[in-house]
């Protein structure tokens, strides 16, 4: 079988990564997925899925090597037959919702784990590139012919890197790309995202590695984390409403007047693919401009559920008072804009979470990592 291109998806067991694998396969890519875990809610569609720790530099060195369609990660292939991937999508990170990011209890792990992954990926890709561009003198041109292309790397940044002082007014937050400096993120997660963004840009300038950088704004949808403390606001609220009876009360952190925008997963994947196929490096916002309060988000979930839901406002981690994507730059550079309303996305997400709850209530066993241990042959 002939494939369009080869792609390496790091973080392929996670929410956005698993959706990207599906998209790339639908476009005719050969895909290797890599993560600590398999996708939790569906079977991976990657041609090959490798479990491992991207904080381990020796493991990263191996996963960056494409061994041709006849050989996979676990097979021995003569090193002269190894090539770089056409594209790498870097989604792997230590992350979660406000309940994980803003408590302060996970700051060291967030920064150490995510920075380690990004440093390993960039440095090992640089070394691999040097075996093809003549800089590594241990390889002759006869054994390692020079390539006329280099692996393009996508890095998934976050709107959490924007300065806190620009997001104090819930009705008028400033998240234009150029507003990022002077830097002042409100969390260590945001500082790590800002550092890693600059890291990718530095390797682009100094080592010629093609990169594309996006700043994601609250991506949500089916097959995302919806319980356990690392879920984002749309999933958490949909879960609470789904468990509630008519006229029940659910807990909402803070006064509920903090504002956010949320982008449905399919829109995120489309914008990311457009960025990768373009000549624009970024960084660029990928998000929705439909800003709502958290109280309004609850109301939308309640409307979708056809329940009357009351709110009990309690103390909890909040993040900034206001955040909304500004899409002027991505419209100019890529001609992309979001097309689905928040209610449409919440409707799909609520339906999926409801099915997850029903499955557990009826004793349906979740797909486990053990059941998913396979390498597709297609």
Burial class (CB in 10 A: 0-12, 13-18, 19+), 371: exposed
The answer to whether the beta carbons of residues 261 and 290 sit under 8 Å apart is: yes
> Which residue is catalytic, options 189, 200, 203, 264?
189
Which are the contacts of 286, defined by CB distance < 8 A and separation ≥ 6? 214, 215, 216, 217, 263, 268, 271, 272, 275, 325, 330
Residue 132, phi then psi, degrees to nearest 5: -110, -20
Report d(CA 13, CA 45) in Å as an integer: 11
Is the dihedral angle over the CA atoms 253, 254, 255, 261 positive or is it negative?
A: negative
DSSP designation for 289: -
- 155 assigned to active site: no
Q: In sequence order, what are the beta bridge partners of 312?
A: 251
Give me the residue label for tokens 């209610």: 343
CA-derived radius of gyration, the chain: 21
What is the token pair recorded at 239? 């879960």
Q: d(Cα 321, Cα 256) in Å, to the nearest integer?
A: 10
Would you please indicate which residues are annotated as catalytic (active-site) residues?
A: 189
């Amino acid at each position: 079988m002939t494939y369009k291109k080869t792609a390496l998806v790091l973080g392929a067991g996670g929410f956005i990564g698993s959706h990207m694998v599906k998209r790339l396969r639908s476009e005719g890519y050969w895909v290797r997925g890599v993560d600590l875990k398999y996708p939790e809610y569906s079977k991976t569609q990657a041609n090959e899925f490798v479990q491992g720790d991207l904080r381990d530099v020796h493991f990263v060195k191996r996963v960056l090597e494409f061994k041709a369609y006849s050989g996979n990660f676990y097979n021995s292939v003569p090193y002269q037959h190894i090539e770089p991937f056409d594209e790498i999508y870097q989604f792997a990170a230590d992350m979660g919702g406000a309940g994980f990011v803003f408590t302060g209890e996970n700051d060291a792990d967030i920064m150490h784990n995510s920075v380690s992954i990004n440093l390993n990926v960039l440095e090992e890709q640089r070394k691999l590139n040097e075996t093809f561009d003549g800089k590594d003198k241990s390889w002759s041109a006869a054994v390692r012919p020079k390539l006329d292309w280099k692996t393009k790397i996508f890095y998934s940044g976050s709107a959490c890197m924007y300065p806190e002082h620009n997001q104090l007014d819930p009705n008028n937050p400033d998240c234009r790309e150029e507003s990022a400096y002077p830097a002042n993120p409100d969390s260590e997660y945001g500082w790590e995202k800002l550092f890693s963004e600059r890291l990718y840009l530095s390797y682009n300038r100094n080592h010629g590695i093609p990169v594309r950088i996006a700043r994601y704004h609250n991506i949500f949808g089916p097959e995302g984390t919806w319980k356990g403390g690392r879920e984002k606001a749309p999933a958490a609220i949909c879960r609470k409403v789904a468990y509630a009876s008519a006229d029940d009360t659910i807990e909402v952190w803070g006064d509920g007047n903090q504002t956010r925008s949320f982008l449905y997963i399919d829109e995120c994947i489309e914008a990311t693919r457009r960025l990768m196929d373009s000549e624009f490096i970024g960084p660029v916002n990928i998000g929705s401009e439909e800003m709502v309060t958290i109280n309004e988000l609850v109301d939308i979930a309640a409307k979708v559920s056809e329940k009357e839901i009351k709110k009990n406002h309690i103390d909890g981690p909040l993040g900034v008072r206001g955040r909304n994507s500004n899409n002027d730059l991505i419209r100019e550079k890529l001609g992309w804009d979001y097309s689905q309303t928040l209610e449409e996305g919440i409707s799909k997400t609520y339906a999926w979470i409801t099915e997850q709850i029903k499955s557990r209530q009826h004793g349906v066993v979740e797909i486990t990592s053990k059941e998913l241990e396979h390498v597709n042959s297609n």
